[in-house]
Amino acid sequence: MASVRLAEARIGMVSLGVPIEHVVQAIAPPANVPLLPRRQGALWGVVEHLGSPVPVVELGRWVDVGAGPESGDDARILILREGPRTIGLRVDAVGGMVDVAAHSVTRLHHDDDPDEVFQSVAPGAGKVLSVLEVGRLADLAAAWTACQPETSGDAAPASTTPADAPSSDTTDAYAVLQVGAARLALPSGSLAEVIPMPALSSFGVGIEAKYCLWRNRHLPVLATGVLQDIAFDATAGLLAVIEHEGLALGLPVDAALELRSFGGPGLAMPDGCTAKVLDAQGNAVYLLDTATLFARVPEATLSMRADDAAAAAPSAGGRVATTEAYIVFEASGHAATPISAVQQVLDARADTAASASIEWNGGVILVIDLRAGSQAEQPAHGVVLVVQGPRGAVGFLVTRVHTMVPAAAGSLYQVGTVAFIHSSNGSEQASYRIVDLARLAAA
């Protein structure tokens, strides 16, 4: 399905989306803004970018954008390019990036008024984005910097890039993210979106690795130790979703700062994943090599789409057909356990979680609550899976039984130390992590 990638920004109360192919960089406004006095137009000022002056438009001088929150340090100048023209746009804040289906970009205005820069809208992270038409913005402002100055005769065109700046052939656009005390930059094309931190689940008891559900896919979340000198905090407020060759990883971040260019010949990656550089303000920034990162994190294969996973050829030690049935239950995410381990499924009483025990088969057995978060706050909600352990039966309190995967109706595969079962029922396909409740009952 064709999609459009938009960079999110805010001007006053207006949320806008800018097609990413037009975004060169997002920079902080200079302390002293050179002015270009004009009787008409909406020029806010002039900034320098790669040695060239760039006129900056302030849309609030043309239209009513409403009074949004104070921008403060969040204000940015978006450097935009359309063909050979470069123009700046002052915004109050820059968000992340969002992929929207091409068919969901809806044109609302059909008058082709040349004095307007918005004609279409698109959905984005719970809001409606006004899609900016950069060419119309440059036309209406009648102000821009030519990427390549015009020349006469056979004279070679003058360069607009200073001699010590990276050439355009080796300079890439990066999204800069705040990760704890560090700044991490990744190629803008690999950043799918930045979302509020969702609820995270563990891959199993005693396993530190976390994952969440994102667009109906299992999304492994990076943990401290994956990258040199960068500590990830799962309590961060945002999650950046990184994609590479059909796979995805989650990166806990504190803020999405800006879009800017880095690069140059011979950038070294000391730990194989990141290179440390300095930005124009002297801040250390770690450039991320996404291909190396994904090669280092095999759990990324968990994010494979169900249809892609079904089509993937089994590798050595890869998928094998199931020989017994599995129960899929919900408790802090979905998980599966061999049905042979489950003696009985009981409805939970209102006091089951509080008492941590339940009457069963003429006696009282221990109950372990596998639920988490808001589920665990509902004492009367759930079922108990009774599992026979070596020292007697143990009950596991879960939210509900989701489904059952019959014998030979699924396939098993391993990612690191975590096992999964993949099931297919016609067009419905899903993968569930395997939690061996019999082994937990023996612990």
pLDDT one-digit tens code per residue, 144-181: 888 643 333 333 333 222 223 333 333 467 888 888 88
β-strand pairing of 52-57 with 85-91: parallel
Q: For residue 255, what is the enclosing H or E element?
A: strand 255-263
The pLDDT, as a whole number, for residue 27 is: 79
The pLDDT, as a whole number, for residue 374 is: 45
- Identify each DSSP E strand in 308-399 by its residue range: 320-321, 326-330, 334-338, 342-347, 357-360, 363-369, 383-389, 392-398
User: Are 353 and 379 a contacting pair, CB within 8 Å?
Assistant: yes
Exposure on the CB side of residue 384, measured as CA atoms within 13 A: 26
Instruction: Output the tens digit of pLDDT for each of the chain's 443 residues.
Output: 567 878 888 888 888 888 888 887 777 788 777 777 766 667 888 888 777 888 898 888 888 888 777 766 778 888 888 888 889 999 988 877 777 888 888 888 888 777 788 888 888 767 888 888 888 888 888 888 886 433 333 333 332 222 233 333 334 678 888 888 888 888 877 888 788 888 877 654 334 567 788 877 878 888 777 777 677 776 788 888 998 888 899 999 888 777 777 654 445 555 557 777 777 667 788 888 888 888 877 777 777 765 555 454 344 346 787 788 888 898 877 889 988 888 888 888 777 777 788 888 888 999 888 876 544 455 556 889 999 888 889 999 988 888 888 877 788 887 666 788 887 655 456 778 888 898 888 77
β-strand pairing of 145-146 with 85-91: antiparallel
Q: For residue 136, what is the enclosing H or E element?
A: helix 134-141
Q: How far, in Å, CA of 280 to CA of 189, rounded?
A: 22
Report phi then psi at 325, rounded to 5. Answer: -80, 155
The pLDDT, as a whole number, for residue 387 is: 92
Chain centroid to Cα 211, Å, comes to: 13
**Burial classification of residue 114, based on how many CB atoms lie within 10 Å of its CB (0-12 exposed, 13-18 middle, 19 or more buried):** exposed
The pLDDT, as a whole number, for residue 385 is: 92
> DSSP for 403-433?
EEE-TTSEEEEEETTEEEEEEEETTEEEEEE
First to last CA, the chain: 47
- Residue 111, strand partner residues: none
The pLDDT, as a whole number, for residue 269 is: 53
- Identify each DSSP E strand in 76-159 by its residue range: 76-82, 85-91, 93-101, 106-107, 118-124, 127-132, 145-146
Q: How far, in Å, CA of 284 to CA of 270, rounded?
A: 14
Rg (CA), the chain: 27
Q: What is the pTM of this model?
A: 0.46
What secondary structure letter does DSSP report for 209?
-
Number of other CB atoms surrounding residue 315 within 10 Å: 8
